[in-house]
Structure 1
C-alpha cells in the first residue's frame, strides 16, 4: 500500500468534492466506512477512487473512510432566490462578493444547535456511554489501564470538550442563505426586506452559485433538513444543516464554509456576479421608476442580468 503524501491540490480536492459519492473511474457508489483514495495517476492526473480502482494511483495523497454528506444537493438547475433591501444589493455589487454571516449572528438562536436544552440529559447519557466504551476499547496493540473512576472522568471531559467545540463553531462557521423555488414568493419579500418598497430579489441556480464561487471545494452547498427537535437531535457534524420544522416555509439552501482564524461577524467571499445573478426582480410595492434605478446601478457595475418588475403585480381578469 502506497504511503500517503498529503499533497492535496485544489484540482484533487475539487474532484473529490464533485464526485463525493462515487468512484471517479468505475462509478462505484461508496457506502459508509468504505475507503476512498485520493491521489494522482502516472501522468499526474488527479483521481478519486474506490478500493478496487486504487491500483491506478502512482501517488496516494490521502485515504478517507467514506461518510455521506450531511445534506442533500439540489439539482444543478434548481432556482435559488435571495431577497434583500436595495442597499444590500448595492453593497453586493460594490464589494464584488457574497456576504457570509457567522452562525452566532443569526436571529435564530438555534443555529448549530443539537436539540432542546431540556432534552440534553438524554444526549449526555448517550455520549458518556459512547466515550466510556471507546476508552475501554483502545486500538489493537494498546491496553486500557484506567480505573473505572478515571474512565468516567475522561468521558465527562470529552463531553465538556464536545460542547465547547459546538459553541466555538458557531463563530467559525459562515453561511449564505437562499430560498429554493421555481417561483417568486410573496412571503419571502415580506420576511427578508425591512422596507418592502425598495427591495430586490436576485435569482440564480444551484450550479451558477457553485460556479460563481469558483467551484471552491471548501464551500458546501446543500438543502437544510427540518427536524422535530422534540423527538430527535442534530448530529455532531450536521447541526448547521438542520433547523426546526417551524422554519420549513423557508425551503432553505445554504452555502457554508469554516474559517477558524476569522474573528469577524461575517466575511465577503469574492465571486463572479455575472455568473451568480441570472435575473433581478424588484418588489411588488416598488414605484414605477425603481426598475430604471436598478438598471442604472447594474450598468455602473457592468452587471448584465435583466431587471424585471415583480411577477406579483400582474393584473388578473375575471
Structure 2
C-alpha cells in the first residue's frame, strides 16, 4: 500500500492524467505477470539520479566528518529503492514517443494519479510511495535531506519536460535483494485506463495489440495515437 509522507507531494486532483511509454515486450510482461516492473534507482541512465545537489553535498560532507558512514548509507540505500516513472500530461507527447519507444512500435498507457493509487496492492514487506519529482538547479539549490526519499524526488532542471511522477518502493526493511529491479502487484484494470499505439505504427501492429489484449482477457480501450505524423506545409 502506498504511504503518505509529509515531504512527498502529488498533484491534488486525482484525475490528473499520467502516461507511461513502453515497448510491446514490457507491456506484455505487465499483462501476463499482472506485475509492474520497477527499476533499481541506481540503474537509471541519468548519472545524477539519486544524488545530491552541490550545496546539499557540502553540508553532508561536514556532517560526515564525525560520521564517516553517513554518505555510504545513502549509496547503499540507492540499491534498496526501485522506481516506476510516469509522465504528467493532459495529452500524449510527441517527444515522449521519440524518447521512450524504438522505431514505430510502442505503446503508451494512459492512467490518472487516482488510478495509480488504487492500482497498488498493499505490500506487507516494504514501503511504497507515489511522489512528484521537483526540478532544481543542482549547482545552486539545496535539497533537504531529513528524509531518505529526498534524493529520489529531485532532478535537474533540464529534465523538466518529463514532468515525472514516481512510484517508489523501498525494500530497506525487508530481505529482498534488488538486482535490476522489483516487480510489484498491481490491479491492471485500475492501472490502465486506455492504451495508445505508436503514431507511426502499421495497421497489423495495432491489430496485433488488440488481439493480444483481448486474448489475455482485458477490455480497456485501445486507440491509435492521434498525433499526425505527416508534415503539413
TM-score by length of 2: 0.88
The answer as to 2:87 corresponding to 1:87 is no
The answer as to 2:116 corresponding to 1:209 is yes
**What's the CA shift for 1:233?**
2.8
1:252 maps to which of 154, 158, 164: 164
d(CA) in 1 for partners of 2:56, 2:153: 20
d(CA) in 1 for partners of 2:154, 2:193: 28
2:152 maps to which of 226, 235, 240: 240
The answer as to 2:77 corresponding to 1:169 is yes
d(CA) in 2 for partners of 1:295, 1:70: 37
Structure 2 match to 1:185: 93
2:8 maps to which of 66, 70, 91: 70
Two-structure CA RMSD over aligned residues (Å): 2.4
d(CA) in 2 for partners of 1:253, 1:272: 18
d(CA) in 1 for partners of 2:12, 2:19: 13
SS where residue 78 of structure 2 aligns? helix
The CA deviation string for residues 188-234 of structure 1, in whole angstroms up to 9 with x for no partner, is 001111x2311110101111111111266932112100111111232
d(CA) in 1 for partners of 2:94, 2:207: 22
**What's the CA shift for 1:124?**
2.2
Moved more, 224-233 or 183-192: 224-233
d(CA) in 1 for partners of 2:232, 2:95: 23
- Asked if the contact 2:134–2:154 (Cα under 8 Å) also holds between the matched residues in 1, the reply is yes
d(CA) in 2 for partners of 1:109, 1:314: 33
Structure 2 match to 1:199: 106
Structure with the larger RCO, 1 or 2 (CA within 8 Å, 6+ apart): 2
Q: Which runs of 5+ in 1 are unaligned?
A: 1-9, 21-67, 129-155
The answer as to 2:26 corresponding to 1:97 is no
User: Alignment length, in residue pairs?
Assistant: 225
The answer as to 2:200 corresponding to 1:285 is yes
d(CA) in 2 for partners of 1:184, 1:169: 34
Query: Which structure has the greater CA radius of gyration?
Result: 1
d(CA) in 2 for partners of 1:105, 1:317: 40
Moved more, 222-231 or 261-270: 261-270
Structure 2 match to 1:52: none
Counterparts of 1:50-61 in structure 2 under 5 Å?
none
